[in-house]
Amino acid sequence: MSKRDQLISAAMALLVEQGNMAFSMNALARHASASKETLYRHFGNKQGLFEAIVSANADQAGLLQDFVADNPANPEGFLLQFGETLLRFLMSPGSIVINRIVIAEAASTPELAAILESHGRQRVAQAVSEQFASYHQQGLISETAATSLNIFIGLLLQDSQIKVLDGSINPLGPADIADRAKEAARCYMKLFKD
């Protein structure tokens, strides 16, 4: 593991432990057994660190993997695999704390929401949309289905992410995640059936 990855891992551990970005770069340096200068050299500032955490989180969650490779002619299988991966990620402690931080800091630090959007959500959405569009090129789904993945996300998430973030429900477990992804994939394919 590179020094940069070690620093990101230490910062993520602090975020989950504290539930906020209130730690100082000095505290992170102590936690990571690094110098403050090393942190600033790698990330520039706390926003740069947050950007690195969001990007690393998406990478480690498998959200950018090639879902088509496992489902070459099976769009529903693609949606099922992607849906399970996305829900597992969104129900993870790291994702929950990142989203809660963005919400809590929205008024004072709106840049965090922009970082999450561009380095997390948009990056994943673009990669997944490009992969899913390959099914249209193969003639397996309509153009509307290929360009409407946000509807699948709505079927998948419903209001569970909001309820987890506000603490009204516990994160979904593996069986609920599998069931939700299967049902969302089935409904999506039925909705766009030619």
Q: How many angstroms separate the CA atoms of 181 and 187, rounded?
A: 10
**97-112 average pLDDT score:** 91
How big is the chain, counted in residues? 194
Residue 185's contacts (CB-CB under 8 Å, 6 or more residues apart) are: 76, 77, 79, 80, 83, 152
Q: Give pLDDT tens digits for 13-36.
A: 988 888 878 788 888 888 888 999
Q: How many CA atoms lie within 13 A of 60 on its CB side?
A: 15
CB 78 within 8 A of CB 131: yes
**H or E element at residue 126:** helix 122-137
63-191 shares the fold of 3-44: no
Tokens 């069986």 found at:
175
Q: How confident is the model at residue 180 (pLDDT cuts 50, 70, 90)?
A: very high
State how far the alpha carbon of 155 is from the alpha carbons of 69, 114, 158, in Å: 24, 24, 6
Count other Cβ atoms within 10 Å, centred on residue 186. Answer: 14
- Residue 194, pLDDT > 70, answer no
Can you give the residue ranges of every domain in the chain?
Answer: 3-44, 63-191
- Residue 186, pLDDT > 70, answer yes
**CATH assignment of 3-44, given 1.10.10.60, 2.40.30.10, 1.10.10.10, 2.70.210.12?**
1.10.10.60
**H or E element at residue 109:** none
Quote the DSSP letter at residue 186: H
Chain-wide mean pLDDT for the chain? 93
Residue 8's contacts (CB-CB under 8 Å, 6 or more residues apart) are: 49, 52, 53, 56
Count other Cβ atoms within 10 Å, centred on residue 24. Answer: 10
* CATH fold label, 63-191: Tetracycline Repressor; domain 2 (1.10.357)
The predicted structure's pLDDT at residue 22: 79
- Residue 139, pLDDT > 90, answer yes
